[in-house]
Amino acid sequence: MRVGVYKIPMNDPADVSALRGLIEAGEVDPRLIVASIGKTEGNGGANDFTRALATLSFSRLLGDYLDLRPEEVQERVAFVWSGGCEGVISPHATFFTRDDSVTGTPTAGGGLALSVQRTRAFLPEEVGRMPEVQEVASATRRALAELEIVDPRDVHYVQVKGPLLTPARIRDAERRGATVVTTDPNRSKAYARGATALGVALALGEVQADQVSDATIANDLNLFTSVASTSAGGELVSCEVLVFANSPRSSSPFRIGHALLRDAVDAAGVRSALQSAGLSFADVPSAEQRGRIAAIFAKAEAPPGGQLRGWRTTMLSDADINYERHARAAVGAVIASVTGDPAIFVSGGTEHQGPPGQAPIAAIVATE
Amino acid sequence: MRVGVYKIPMNDPADVSALRGLIEAGEVDPRLIVASIGKTEGNGGANDFTRALATLSFSRLLGDYLDLRPEEVQERVAFVWSGGCEGVISPHATFFTRDDSVTGTPTAGGGLALSVQRTRAFLPEEVGRMPEVQEVASATRRALAELEIVDPRDVHYVQVKGPLLTPARIRDAERRGATVVTTDPNRSKAYARGATALGVALALGEVQADQVSDATIANDLNLFTSVASTSAGGELVSCEVLVFANSPRSSSPFRIGHALLRDAVDAAGVRSALQSAGLSFADVPSAEQRGRIAAIFAKAEAPPGGQLRGWRTTMLSDADINYERHARAAVGAVIASVTGDPAIFVSGGTEHQGPPGQAPIAAIVATE
Amino acid sequence: MRVGVYKIPMNDPADVSALRGLIEAGEVDPRLIVASIGKTEGNGGANDFTRALATLSFSRLLGDYLDLRPEEVQERVAFVWSGGCEGVISPHATFFTRDDSVTGTPTAGGGLALSVQRTRAFLPEEVGRMPEVQEVASATRRALAELEIVDPRDVHYVQVKGPLLTPARIRDAERRGATVVTTDPNRSKAYARGATALGVALALGEVQADQVSDATIANDLNLFTSVASTSAGGELVSCEVLVFANSPRSSSPFRIGHALLRDAVDAAGVRSALQSAGLSFADVPSAEQRGRIAAIFAKAEAPPGGQLRGWRTTMLSDADINYERHARAAVGAVIASVTGDPAIFVSGGTEHQGPPGQAPIAAIVATE
Amino acid sequence: MRVGVYKIPMNDPADVSALRGLIEAGEVDPRLIVASIGKTEGNGGANDFTRALATLSFSRLLGDYLDLRPEEVQERVAFVWSGGCEGVISPHATFFTRDDSVTGTPTAGGGLALSVQRTRAFLPEEVGRMPEVQEVASATRRALAELEIVDPRDVHYVQVKGPLLTPARIRDAERRGATVVTTDPNRSKAYARGATALGVALALGEVQADQVSDATIANDLNLFTSVASTSAGGELVSCEVLVFANSPRSSSPFRIGHALLRDAVDAAGVRSALQSAGLSFADVPSAEQRGRIAAIFAKAEAPPGGQLRGWRTTMLSDADINYERHARAAVGAVIASVTGDPAIFVSGGTEHQGPPGQAPIAAIVATE
């Protein structure tokens, strides 16, 4: 297996010109694209439609090459977008190709491997509850099997994108006499992100089956995975699970690593992720090493109680700018200050993703 | 001369409890306070009234100790506030005392010295023009003389706070048949900040008298000072000039240094400022060194054309959040990631303050 | 009793010049001022400090005339501010004087009367619960007695301002082992506004004692008062209750009336309030009648489910602008389109203030 | 000619289900659709991508019926969107069909007629200048000729959508040595809207040819049209001109009328527009009359100097919410308070569209 990593700039959420350029130049084979992860310049909230525009635009482009309708492309390619380019974060997308026909020399120590899995569709009353935990765990296990991963420590990043409860879905459940985990659509995001994160944790052995129940989801935050980044959107009914690992089967010229960000200004955590992915440096990566960083994926969160290293931040009391926007601005700038590159994936909401107040960060680095 | 530096947290813009605590504990003598520089949690725009509330609250507190009305305190103490605590920036104030009665052993290499000067009041038609340049230059020269500074390289930070053109002041000029530099109050901020920065540059020999004219202000940005941070507010008619230097006359247990931030994620620039102030480290300051950092003052700016290290940022096209807020969020987080402390003074608007696209940063560090 | 009504413009939250002008001109006797109700130009959220600045500024002004400290003025005068001047709403304050020495001819049908009452201080665990309901009911009854009101239908507007749960107060309760109604400060506003509204409803006989319990507060919204407007702020520990009625004891040259706004664009409701206060017109008030409108006080609310007259509004899904701001913008503009005057008091949050989805509006009109 | 008017709700900017329903039910023939005018729920600023998403979504839908690519549909149908659903404004679109094969009895007094015209593409240096004025005037004259309008007073609404100057187009001009009207993209909107409005004014005889020059555009605001609503967007290089009139050739069951809004709370102006379109009522339209209102199109603007009927509004000094958003919230609510329907088209920017400080409003009403 060989996984390709292509980070492209976007001039607006509908700008597919950079990917078209790579395809036209023969650098990217559109038939091999399996997923993308990117940032769009919306507000990141419930009324952020830049994600939908980007998905539609890229699936139209690929549909032209593959002779498929956009909706068919979306069944084949997992598009993951996070809205909100606060601070220096640059709108961009990282496209992933996977070529199973390549059977070259495996990368020493294992090369980057990627498996994309989907769960079955969920009923509204299953969202944010144990059925979602179990199905995500199964999907993650399928990915591990497909990638022939035996040691879960070879998994460094699992991106999960799943459903939340929309007003329409809540009404559907109520019509059938079923009860949902919450009737507040915004609050359902926490349960949905939490359940899918616990599913990953279960599959990777980070928590045990008897520790997890409906009551622990979005509640007992001492249960967590250190490698998952999960999001919830109104457009989905099933979950898409992207498992990134270093696999002995892979001949990709990339490796992936991860670390935890202790808080929103933890430059040392950023450096740890780069080192985990294979860059050797003491305090500051060299220019050559910076050039080998292919992609960074991080979560951002307001500090507990709004207190950062003993000082009050205003994230949680600001009625003009949502706290996730403040947190992404900070984390994005700190990462860019280490890597020298503001095209970073930073998204918000960390339930069961790292210890309370901390957040996972993954880095993909070229092996040479 | 001995200058004291006291950084205090603020729970809201009217919260003076931390300074009251220091005074009651005998740590700060209210009679010696000459200036404060701080951040308040407003939006930093024309309708940010948190600065006014903070000034009124602190001048009431000091007035109670000094038996003065708040307005009288404001003639005696220079209160400098920047609104906008984006990202991790913590609302706080740094108070400066100056005790001329102390004649102890001078600090080796010069200790922190501070002179606060005021210009005459300006007519509206003088704001953002040569009279303001000249008067700020004179005030800066008076400060140098008072501090017995002979080498301008001993000056590391000059904070200037001056008037802008309000609708009322523009009407006043028009009534008298005088023309102002611009009839747009928001645009006048650039001229006002630029003129006062050029005044500092003139006094410090960074530009020559024959290079500066009305036509160069906020226009020829290749003329600049590397140590000034200037702001403009509607409440002022004269300028307050705070000159911070290392002086052989001073026995303060602090030194000041400065550097330039190349862009909004320039962690190396932050490190340079700390090194300039006397901390010796290779890449990352130690915990002990971090503990000696007393205060940081920086300017933040959107990158030219919005392009940061080859990638597009969205600061300049965002209709929801002003670009200064994005820039402050980024710069504040990057500084905190180096110093470990989010109570940082970061303000926006860099006309003639550093080369185009760059911004000055100053650091005060305890000598032991 | 004679009540005076003085509506003044404010150029900023600290601008007291218009009131000073009225006092200096002898039109307002500062010793007779008992309350003010006004709008300030903040965001209306938890980080809106314009209310605090306005209170401090006006209490300083009055303190100068009354030889009192600002804090002492605030014990004597009830300052009610609502932040958020969305759309056309103009920052302003309406000051109320009360002169009990006037014993002139009573106004026909009763003139405007005002009683300001205060409750005892509440423990955090009492906020939003029955003790607060009972104490506000008692305070309202004291006001009715003082004004010699026998028919509750003569009461047209009761403004209540009370405490909410701040993080500090929640911690205080937890330290003592007491449980609070909610540990979410923002959510506590709904309980606090609801409890005080039910207290007014109880005193005016709009609900019966056996209908109200902790379980009904902010929950059974079919219990309500049609004349109260309640707010909750972090700076208070007791409630201030302002009861406005038409009283046969009053010789004020004003009358007050009220109505309900069916939704955010109910111009007919605005007209009803004016007619209730004594203006006789069919559909549109005349210019002379408009000139007699002294003040308008209204509540604004997002429509249930965001649906207004069968069409979707975006108030509840907007992550950039809070729904209360959208609602105030709409209600303020509709009122101004009827009265011709954008200096209107419109505030958000209508728990138990009118039937679900509706909101009270009161009008004070000069009798000639 | 018969023009159909179909106003549909949108659950999000990509929601085409209501139009699909009308087509599937046989009520709308997709081949007859010539234009749509609607509101989307973005912020209305440079980073509002909801307009692009709506255009792409509807042109995909129509393309499926017409067997055309979305880009081809966009050449055939004029899609006009204004972003920003502030206050009560409901996201919606009004689709217009035109059937030239209908030769029924002409509507008494003339029925609603619509002509859609396009200009040639403009070079960047032509935008906001006389060539754009002249070409829009020619396009408007072509529409008048096509509709056989002899009396310009039969024209009640001209919607023009044209290009603005993007950074890319400015660079293109500079590369060729050409100078543009302004190098500030945001400022170019005023010139572009002004030039196209003056083009309409010229064609309708509201201004004379010798009164208009480059120097008057966006400058001499005493030159204006009373019926045009113009907008400028970065995605266009030519202008689309939609001329709405009452024509004796038309057998449409609708009539159109217009009026001027004196300011943002001018309910009388709204009533005048309805009366101009044929509704007879004194002060308030009846429920039956309200039911006949098919669509409303209005412009919104901040009052000159921010002063509304002698009181200060905060629109122009608000750094959190753009003044156009405040103005649209107010105007939308006032219109809905008269018509009872929040699905209104209100857009910002009124250069040369009505006298200074005023704004045009048009109404389409069913004749029975």
The answer to whether residues A298 and A335 touch, using CB atoms and an 8 Å cutoff, is yes
Residue with tokens 């609104």: B83
Angstrom distance (rounded) from CA D111 to CA D367: 9
Which residue type is seen at A368? E
Hey, is the C-beta of A12 within 8 angstroms of any chain D C-beta? Answer: yes
Hey, is the C-beta of B13 within 8 angstroms of any chain C C-beta? Answer: yes
Which among B39, B161, B189, B299 is annotated as catalytic? B161
DSSP assignment letter at B37? E
Please give the ipTM for the structure prediction.
Answer: 0.95
Q: Which residue among D43, D317, D318 sits closest to B319, beta carbon to beta carbon?
A: D43
Q: Which residues of chain C does D50 touch, with a Cβ-Cβ cutoff of 8 Å?
A: none
Mean pLDDT per segment of 10 residues, for chain C of length 368 residues? 97 97 98 98 92 97 98 96 97 98 83 97 97 98 95 97 89 93 88 97 97 96 96 90 95 97 97 97 94 97 92 93 96 98 96 94 95
- The pLDDT score that the predictor gives to residue D314 is 94
Hey, is the C-beta of C9 within 8 angstroms of any chain A C-beta? Answer: no
Which residue type is seen at B353? Q
Average pLDDT, chain B: 95
Hey, is the C-beta of C267 within 8 angstroms of any chain D C-beta? Answer: yes
Active-site annotation holds for D213 = no
Angstrom distance (rounded) from CA C90 to CA B279: 53
> B259: which strand partners?
B361
Active-site annotation holds for A161 = yes
Angstrom distance (rounded) from CA D78 to CA D86: 24
B50 min Cα distance to partner chain C (Å): 7
Q: Which residues of chain B does C52 touch, with a Cβ-Cβ cutoff of 8 Å?
A: 12-14, 53
* Cα D292–Cα D8–Cα D112 angle in degrees, nearest 5: 45
Q: What are the backbone angles phi and psi of residue B175, rounded to the nearest 5°?
A: -60, -35
Angstrom distance (rounded) from CA D11 to CA C304: 16
Element (H, E) at A81: strand A78-83
Q: Which residues of chain A does C167 touch, with a Cβ-Cβ cutoff of 8 Å?
A: 305
Hey, is the C-beta of D261 within 8 angstroms of any chain A C-beta? Answer: no
Q: How far apart are the first and last CA of chain A?
A: 18
**Residue-by-residue DSSP string for D4-61:** EEEEEE-SSTT--HHHHHHHHTTSS-GGGEEEEEEEESS-SSTT--HHHHHHHHHHHH
Which residues fall within 8 angstroms of residue A264, CB to CB, at 6 or more apart? Answer: A300, A301, A302, A303, A308, A327, A330, A331, A334, B87, B88, B333
- The pLDDT score that the predictor gives to residue C357 is 87
Residue B47 has pLDDT above 80, yes or no: yes
Tens of pLDDT, residue by residue over C13-72, are 999 999 999 999 999 999 999 999 999 999 998 899 999 999 999 999 999 999 999 999
Sheet with D78-83, edge to edge strand ranges? D2-9, D92-99, D33-40, D78-83
Q: Can you tell me whether residue A4 is helix, strand or coil? A: strand
Element (H, E) at B244: strand B240-247
Q: Which residues of chain C does B14 touch, with a Cβ-Cβ cutoff of 8 Å?
A: 49, 52, 56
Q: Which residues of chain C does A45 touch, with a Cβ-Cβ cutoff of 8 Å?
A: 317-320
- The pLDDT score that the predictor gives to residue D338 is 98
Q: List active site positions of C.
A: 161, 231
CB contact under 8 A, D47 and A57: no
Residue B181 has pLDDT above 90, yes or no: yes
Residue B239 has pLDDT above 90, yes or no: yes
Which residues fall within 8 angstroms of residue C339, CB to CB, at 6 or more apart? Answer: C270, C274, C285, C290, C293, C296
Angstrom distance (rounded) from CA B46 to CA B127: 18
Share of chain B above pLDDT 90, in %: 88
The answer to whether residues D125 and D180 touch, using CB atoms and an 8 Å cutoff, is yes
- What sign does the dihedral A330-A331-A336-A341 (CA atoms) show? negative
Of the two residues B214 and B282, the one the predictor is more confident about is B214
Confidence of residue D102 (pLDDT cuts 50, 70, 90): confident
* Cα D296–Cα D301–Cα D302 angle in degrees, nearest 5: 145
CB contact under 8 A, A13 and D49: yes
- The pLDDT score that the predictor gives to residue C31 is 98
C205 min Cα distance to partner chain D (Å): 33
- What sign does the dihedral A30-A36-A38-A41 (CA atoms) show? positive
Hey, is the C-beta of A88 within 8 angstroms of any chain B C-beta? Answer: yes
Q: Which residues of chain A does D57 touch, with a Cβ-Cβ cutoff of 8 Å?
A: 56
Q: Which residue among C43, C314, C318 sits closest to A319, beta carbon to beta carbon?
A: C43
Hey, is the C-beta of A44 within 8 angstroms of any chain C C-beta? Answer: yes
- Per residue in D200-233, is it b (16+ CB within 10 Å) or e — as a string? bbbbbebbeeeebeeebbbebbebbbbbbbbbbb
Structure tokens at D192: 């572009």
**Residue-by-residue DSSP string for C77-129:** SEEEEEE---TTPPPEEEEEEEETT---PPPTT-EEEEEEEEPPP--GGGTTS
Chain B nearest-CA residue for C13 = B49
Q: Which residue among B46, B167, B305 sits closest to D319, beta carbon to beta carbon?
A: B46
- The pLDDT score that the predictor gives to residue C181 is 95
Residue B355 has pLDDT above 90, yes or no: yes
Q: Which residue among A12, A13, A47 sits closest to D41, beta carbon to beta carbon?
A: A47
Chain B nearest-CA residue for C319 = B320
- The pLDDT score that the predictor gives to residue C305 is 86
Confidence of residue D7 (pLDDT cuts 50, 70, 90): very high
Chain C nearest-CA residue for B13 = C49
A151 min Cα distance to partner chain D (Å): 44
Q: Which residues of chain D does A50 touch, with a Cβ-Cβ cutoff of 8 Å?
A: 49
Angstrom distance (rounded) from CA A330 to CA B330: 6
Q: Can you tell me whether residue B99 is helix, strand or coil? A: strand
The pLDDT tens digits along chain A (368 residues) read: 999 999 999 999 999 999 999 999 999 999 999 999 999 999 998 899 999 999 999 999 999 999 999 999 999 999 999 999 999 999 999 999 999 998 878 877 889 999 999 999 999 999 999 999 999 999 999 999 999 999 999 999 999 999 999 888 998 999 999 999 998 887 899 999 999 999 999 999 999 999 999 999 999 999 999 999 999 988 789 999 999 999 988 999 999 999 999 999 999 999 999 999 999 998 899 999 999 999 999 999 999 889 999 999 999 989 999 999 999 999 999 999 999 999 999 999 999 999 988 999 999 999 98
Q: Which of C96, C89, C83, C103 is nearest to C13 (CA)?
A: C83
Angstrom distance (rounded) from CA C249 to CA C268: 31
CB contact under 8 A, B50 and C52: no
- The pLDDT score that the predictor gives to residue B192 is 96
- The pLDDT score that the predictor gives to residue C104 is 77
Chain D nearest-CA residue for C41 = D314
Q: Which residue among B13, B57, B320 sits closest to C320, beta carbon to beta carbon?
A: B320
Q: Can you tell me whether residue B127 is helix, strand or coil? A: coil
- The pLDDT score that the predictor gives to residue D133 is 98
Which residue type is seen at C172? D
Tens of pLDDT, residue by residue over D59-97, are 999 999 999 999 999 999 999 999 999 999 999 999 999
DSSP assignment letter at A214? G
Which residues fall within 8 angstroms of residue C334, CB to CB, at 6 or more apart? Answer: C264, C265, C266, C267, C270, D333, D334, D337
Q: Which residues of chain C does B320 touch, with a Cβ-Cβ cutoff of 8 Å?
A: 320
Average pLDDT, chain D: 95
The answer to whether residues D325 and D43 touch, using CB atoms and an 8 Å cutoff, is yes
CA distance to D21, D95, D251, per residue, from D7 (Å):
12, 6, 20
Which among D161, D189, D229, D299 is annotated as catalytic? D161
Angstrom distance (rounded) from CA A86 to CA A328: 6
Hey, is the C-beta of A67 within 8 angstroms of any chain D C-beta? Answer: no
Which residue type is seen at B51? R
Q: What are the backbone angles phi and psi of residue C275, rounded to the nearest 5°?
A: -65, -40
Q: What are the backbone angles phi and psi of residue D225, rounded to the nearest 5°?
A: -105, 150
CB contact under 8 A, A265 and B329: no
- Per residue in C97-119, is it b (16+ CB within 10 Å) or e — as a string? bbbeeeeeeebeebbbbbbbbeb
Which one of B53, B90, B322 makes the best mutation probe of the C interface by having the most chain C beta carbons within 10 Å? B53
